[in-house]
Structure 1
Amino acid sequence: MKLIFTSEFTSLIMKKILALIFALIGWFAVIMQYQLMLEDSKFTFLEMTIQFFSYFTILTNIIVAVYFTSQLGKNPQQIENSGTLMAITIYILMVGLIYQVVLRSTWNPTGMQRVVDELLHAIIPAFVLLYWIFIGNKNNLNYKQIPRWAVYPLMYLFYILIRGHFSGFYPYPFVDVFTIGYSQVLINAFLILIFFTGLSMLFIRIGKALRISNND
């Protein structure tokens, strides 16, 4: 009994330490990116701030930072919904994968911008993935959760298309209506939705396999 208690206590402490580290890294990356954009912006403060919060990368990294911050004060007896971290993991992996495949070649940041860029698009996604694999709750994962997970990216798509129509600002080239037109934007959005669904299904399968493996 004492051994079990010690093991659970050690696991809880490790989880809290990792949550603290990831929260600090997440907030540092987001705040530093805001500062860098502020220094380099040719727009008004208000417009720059709106544009900053119009990036899926920024919004998702904020979600990650908020999640790990919330873990610091969570009751250890509270059982987390298995879909929460899973959804966040899918979102941040989408950020990382799309950036690596589609966007990395479009610019070449240097200095602190390079550091922040790697944190937002590579290091934090990798940290979240590893945290989910080794620590995250994987009980009760099921495919019916996927439509709920898709609400956030779909709402984001509607937001940037509506705002872009009036402001002319589209945060990513594959949703730039002025350049590629609505038809291509909708095709791109559909392809991303398929990718999102496929990735979600894959990780639900992985989660179920890891849960069975841990139980054995």
Structure 2
Amino acid sequence: MSKNTIIFIGAAIGWFAILMQFVLMMQNRVESLTETTLRFFSYFTILTNSLVALYFSVLWYKKPISFLTRFEKPGFLTAVTLYIAIVGVVYQLVLRGIWEPTGMHRIVDEMLHSIIPIYVIVFWFNYEDKRNVSWKLIPIWLLYPLFYLAFILFRGNYSGYYPYPFVNVTELGLKKVLLNSGALVFAFLVLAFVLVGVGKSLKFKTPNKTTLDS
């Protein structure tokens, strides 16, 4: 299977899962259209899977789009892999037991939290220019989850809605939520070091561009 086909599949399953999740959420909404949409995009899972779908879409399009050209630079794929891997790990360890979806809910849930994270990790393993990913990028990678945490805590303070139980200030209190948030940031940091370290320690050469584009 060519790299371009793999990229197309990544984009297709990404957008399908996101759009289906949006449709399902709208079908079961109890809040206004605006509030439901805001809640939909307040989930780290949705934002990160959207980033994955956008990443694959830009690679598949193959034409330079101003600042989006950085998507192909060493390190960007590692950052995307870091984020989506955390989505998968947190769901499997913390959130899976909270609800038991059925039917299409189950299919989309597994796509967002299991299939896509594994797909991206395998893609990273095969196609990232791992030897040229700098340790100095790690602090930059942490900005996204930090801004996300600040956003959901700020919005939750005014709306009373928190997308995840471990950041629910109303039920847990601010101190507990800050401890949970600190643990999550630490998990991001550890996994970031693991990805860069593993990438630099692999004993094979990254395929050249000609091979990758075949």
**Aligned residue runs from structure 1 range 1-216, under 5 A:** 14-74=2-62, 80-210=72-202, 212-214=203-205
Opposite residue 156 of structure 1, the aligned amino acid is Y
Task: Give 1:25 shift.
Answer: 0.2
Task: Give 1:87 shift.
Answer: 0.2
Q: State the distance in 1 between where 2:109 and 2:58 align.
A: 24
Task: Give 1:214 shift.
Answer: 2.3
Aligned length: 201
Task: Give 1:75 shift.
Answer: 5.3
Moved more, 25-34 or 80-89: 80-89
Q: State the distance in 2 between where 1:119 and 1:73 align.
A: 23
SS in 2 for 1:178: helix
Q: What percentage of aligned pairs have identical amino acids?
A: 46
SS in 1 for 2:25: helix
Q: Which runs of 5+ in 1 are unaligned?
A: 1-12
- Larger radius of gyration between Structure 1 and Structure 2: 1
Q: Tell me which stretches of 4 or more aligned residues in structure 1 moved more than 4 Å.
A: none
Computed over aligned residues only, the root mean square deviation of the Cα atoms, in angstroms, reads 1.6
Opposite residue 98 of structure 2, the aligned amino acid is T
Q: State the distance in 1 between where 2:205 and 2:144 align.
A: 31
Q: State the distance in 2 between where 1:149 and 1:108 align.
A: 32
Task: Give 1:206 shift.
Answer: 0.9
Q: Which runs of 5+ in 2 are unaligned?
A: 207-214
Q: Deviations over 1:150-182 (max 9, x none)?
A: 000000000000000000000000000000011
Q: State the distance in 2 between where 1:144 and 1:174 align.
A: 30
Q: Deviations over 1:52-107 (max 9, x none)?
A: 0000000000000000000012259x893111000000000000000000000000
SS in 2 for 1:139: helix
| Higher relative contact order (CA closer than 8 Å, sequence separation 6+) | 2
